Structure 1
């Protein structure tokens, strides 16, 4: 198979009028011109969402709508790989969700479940600060101990790829270091940590900040907090919800200029109500309002993000971030954190998104 692209993203550069040859799911060659089986305006690596709770009525903790339908919708938005994210809920609920994800991953390994590829689970809770719960139910939060973690994930250890912790809580640094030693990515989030505590966390195995600025101690000139610690540490990556609601464009530009596309990650943080028509919804006994595509709790607290990653790519460009960097922040950069080769290069998997002019997803290739 040959794919011709007017703009081909290779590294941090768009090459003009290139043809990508794919054989058995692998990129075997890149060259100029020539006949092709498909033609697109732009070709980039597949989008990788490390923070996605669900959408279109689906959530692994609720499982109200079919998972195959949701994964197919994600793929149509260019999301080829996803970490399904669990928020803080009662332990039985979270363990049922872990079972849902584990079963789905087994089905995908057997070639029986289409759509975006599930990479595993991101535990965004329950080890979070009651001072910064965001939309999380405070009653479901737990102190971070290794025993509590093991109780939660017993039998599902292999699917956990990322955990968000509030580093200021007693025991959090120890738990974070233990998880990092097991190869699990650990990030700070839903945290009231001050600058010094955040620095200690980033020296103890924490390597990221969950949805930067949101559900965090605010950045103040005499109290810079976890946000400043993350922005100033070159080894720390910063998640950003790019719906232009959770973050003002200037906040996104600040993170971009501080971190660059190699350390700023676009995430959707989409939830069950994302993608549903505007209206009022009751999910797991909680009331939510969707207005202009944005989901909020009944008390007005922002819930999940308002765009999938293709929308993030368009939004980032709309505020002046170059297209190649917007694409990298939604594909190659998050993929690298989990050891995935998501660059367009001979020998790498052909996990690709074709875009029309205007950056609408036109076609997705994902054979493996």
Structure 2
């Protein structure tokens, strides 16, 4: 159990949270304003649906990379994540998916739990690669089904304008894979059509997609006009605060991702991102030509960034936990309610991380208030 200001599904409550066998069994019923006292803030563990690496490891390296990034990101409050691939040759993608599946069969219980895979490419537009390697191509249903047989692909990013992709979107949606639109030169109309076929999100909104113009609204316009969900990187580097505020007004369930690379949680220097070398400096990660290449963002900083833009802690928390869980259709994570998994983050009044629990296990920090997570 733990005592403090607890963000439940019904709002803030003051008292003790109890759990048994990894699930919440009791929550207090006394409403509270968390700013009225100095007790810790207890919020749901963060759910990150776009994680390429961390702790010096890149998921495309395979082997021990899933374990390293899971141990790294739990230090910053992430309790559930999707291991996210890069565009690469087919044989490399297949090997990485197999390695992720092996890790998931006996993954570290004291780390962020890998829920499955976010396949970001190779089914993207070669004219909008961003930091993706040049292995982009159209996807075929039989090929994608083969990849899904290797590991649980929960989310797939594609460019809807490529040949055959409307049929692929329908097929993936029917088998329960969420489809996001990204790394795309598609028009507003192509974005709307893709959503009609089952696409339900947008990958790192604003980045690597056609922008908003008043006569050509582009993929950004399709998202702002029609989306219920979209992911966004709130490091205040990928997207200007004004654009973030615009998206918050337009997309009800806009949620945060880190799009983090091997450089997350590491000092400045050179790291791998797929087959490319990226450099961490001045708070960002870039290719040699200056192109932003993922991020060094961690979810605890994403929370503080959202609050710095004027969001309440409750709203910011929802965008790091409940909304991404809802997007995947999982109702027992990303929230603190009876029966939910006891994944939680303990913050001090300045929103600094104090402790992290995964399914009720104290895996990081110090409950007396001295942060050991970093």
Whether contact under 8 Å (1:277, 1:293) holds in the other structure is no
Q: CA deviation at 1:132?
A: 0.9
Q: 1:44: which partner in 2? A: 43
The answer for the alignment partner of 2:34 in structure 1 is none
Deviation at 1:325, TM superposition (A): 0.8
**Structure 2 partner of 1:178:** 171
More moved, 274-283 vs 126-135: 274-283
Q: Residue deviations 1:253-281, cap 9 Å, x none?
A: 11111123xx1010000012233222334
Partner residue of 1:164? 157
Name the SS for the 2:200 alignment partner.
Answer: strand
Residue 358 of structure 1 corresponds to 350
Structure 2 portions without partners, runs of 5+: 31-37, 361-374
2:91 paired residue number? 92
- Does the 8 Å contact 1:56/1:274 carry over to 2? yes
Q: Which residue of 2 aligns with 1:299?
A: 289
Moved more, 170-179 or 340-349: 340-349
Q: Structure 1 length as normaliser, TM-score?
A: 0.90
- The answer (yes or no) to whether the contact 1:265–1:329 under 8 Å persists in 2 is yes
Q: Who is 2:7 aligned against?
A: 9
- Number of the residue aligned with 2:133: 137
CA distance in 2, matches of 1:279, 1:64: 22
| 1:61 match: secondary structure | helix
CA deviations over 1:56-111 (Å, ceiling 9, x no partner): 21122114865433312211111000000001011121111101110111013xxx
Is 1:209 the equivalent of 2:205? no
Residue in structure 2 matching 1:254, options 246, 259, 262: 246
- 1:133-159: per-residue Cα shift (whole Å, max 9, x none)? 110112x111122133245x1641x51
Distance in 1 (alpha carbons) for counterparts of 2:260 and 2:23:
30
Structure 1 residue runs of 5 or longer lacking an equivalent are 34-38
> Is the alpha carbon distance of 1:154 and 1:348 closer, same or farther for their aligned partners in structure 2, counting shifts above 3 Å?
closer
SS state at 1:176 partner: helix
Q: 1:66 and 1:200 mapped to 2: Cα distance?
A: 37
Q: Cα–Cα, structure 1 residues 311 and 294, in superposed 2: closer, same or farther, change >3 Å?
A: same
Q: 1:225 to 1:357 in 2, by over 3 A?
A: same
SS of 1:87's equivalent in the other structure is coil
Paired position in structure 2 for 1:36: none
**Aligned-partner SS, 2:221:** helix
- Is contact 2:86–2:274 with CA below 8 Å preserved after alignment? no
CA 1:182 to 1:60, structure 2 compared with 1: closer, same or farther past 3 Å? same
* Cα separation, 2, equivalents of 1:196 and 1:282: 36
In structure 1, what is the Cα distance between the partners aligned to 2:306 and 2:282?
19
Determine the structure 1 residue equivalent to 2:82.
83
Cα deviation, 1:136-191, whole Å, max 9, x if unaligned, reads: 112x111122133245x1641x5111111100111111101101100101111111
Counterpart for residue 321 of structure 1:
311
Distance 1:328 1:282, change over 3 A: closer
Checking the alignment, whether the CA contact within 8 Å between 1:275 and 1:293 is kept in structure 2 is: no
Partner SS for 1:312: helix
Match of 1:21 in 2: 18
**Deviation digits for residues 13-70 of structure 1 (CA, Å, limit 9, x no counterpart):** 333x22212222221222268xxxxx96101111000111111211221148654333
Instruction: Note if 1:57 corresponds to 2:73.
Output: no
Q: Secondary structure at the match of 2:242?
A: helix
